[in-house]
């Protein structure tokens, strides 16, 4: 099966892709294009999947660069593909030939580009990272390389939608402690449960950071098991592990 790669016209002409799980070599619960080296999938199979993603981005596998994601607001500037795999959740570069990548399975994969300045970025933004400012920090790091906020485009790829993201009152209070205005990203659920709009919150933070254009591809990872991995769906199904989707961008 060939790879399925979602793209956004707004990021054109910068080469990029939000890869679905289709077209990979993994089997079982990981069936498809599992690119997560931190999963319990066979490492040699994950390497095959990552090589396929790299080939689709027209780079050798060692030029498909990522970070050790820790739900932080930390961002690294990548100057060559042999960089240390830092503990961070955002990457930026102004160097051609380096494909910046992030892994997700419900969290937001966000790809950034200022095509005119020749600066790109990628971020992994779950609720914690988004609340702590990883999206803002990625934009700031791009600016440090010469990007301009007003001409930067940011696109959120497949992520868990509000209809599938049930949270408790403690989660809600964490957001209220930061800004009572964040209540608008929640709606009432069953009993004391609430439903959180992660992509809506991500778009808000991107626009507050001053990017010229921000959008979500409107794909929900939880509700489409054939195309996407989902940590929350795996948890509900009591499966042992889950695959990770890869998203990448390159100058």
And the tokens for 174?
């964490």
Query: Quick one: pLDDT at residue 195?
Result: 98
Give a yes or no: residue 142 inside a domain.
Answer: yes
Q: pLDDT tens-digit profile of 221-234? A: 999 999 999 999 99
Neighbours of 176 (CB within 10 A): 14
Identify whether 178 is part of a domain: no
Is residue 56 in some structural domain? yes
Assess contact for 185 and 175: CB atoms under 8 A: yes
pLDDT in tens, 189-210: 999 999 999 999 999 999 999 9
Token code pair at residue 64: 């498909």
Q: Is residue 212 part of a domain?
A: no
pTM over 0.85: yes
Does residue 27 lie within any of the structural domains? yes
Could you give the dihedral angle defined by the CA atoms of residues 185, 130, 215 and 139, in that order, rounded to the nearest 10 degrees? 140
Residues 226, 128: Cα–Cα separation, whole Å: 27
Would residue 140 count as lying in a domain?
yes
Domain of 66? 5-160+218-250
187 in a domain, yes or no? no
By the 10 Å C-beta count (0-12 exposed, 13-18 middle, 19+ buried), 217 is classed as: middle
The CATH number of the domain where 114 resides is what?
3.60.140.10
pLDDT tens figures, 84-134: 688 999 999 999 999 999 999 999 999 999 999 999 999 999 999 999 999
Cα 145 versus chain centre, distance: 21
Whether residue 209 lies inside any domain: the answer is no
Rounded CA-CA distance 19/158 in Å is 9
Total count of domains within the chain? 1
The Cβ of residue 1 has, within 10 Å, a number of other Cβ atoms equal to 8
């Amino acid at each position: 099966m060939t790879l399925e790669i979602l793209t956004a016209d707004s990021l054109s002409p910068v080469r990029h892709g939000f890869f679905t799980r289709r077209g990979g070599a993994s089997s079982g619960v990981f069936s498809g294009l599992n690119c997560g080296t931190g999963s319990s999938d066979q490492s040699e199979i994950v390497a095959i999947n990552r090589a396929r993603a790299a080939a689709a981005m027209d780079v050798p596998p060692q030029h498909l660069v990522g970070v050790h994601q820790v739900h932080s607001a930390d961002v690294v500037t990548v100057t060559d593909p042999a960089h240390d795999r830092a503990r961070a959740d955002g990457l930026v570069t102004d160097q051609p030939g380096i494909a910046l990548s992030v892994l997700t399975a419900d969290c937001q994969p966000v790809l950034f580009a200022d095509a005119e300045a020749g600066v790109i970025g990628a971020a992994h933004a779950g609720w914690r990272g988004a609340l702590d400012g990883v999206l803002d920090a990625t934009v700031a790091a791009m600016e440090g390389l010469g990007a301009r906020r007003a001409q930067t485009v940011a696109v959120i790829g497949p992520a868990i939608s509000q209809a599938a993201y049930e949270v408790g009152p403690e989660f809600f209070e964490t957001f209220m402690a930061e800004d009572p205005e964040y209540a608008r990203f929640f709606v009432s659920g069953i009993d004391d449960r609430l439903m959180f709009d992660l992509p809506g919150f991500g778009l808000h933070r991107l626009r507050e950071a001053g990017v010229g254009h921000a959008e979500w591809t409107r794909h929900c990872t939880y509700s489409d098991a054939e195309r996407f991995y989902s940590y929350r769906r795996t948890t509900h199904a009591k499966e042992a592990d889950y695959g990770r989707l890869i998203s990448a961008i390159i100058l």
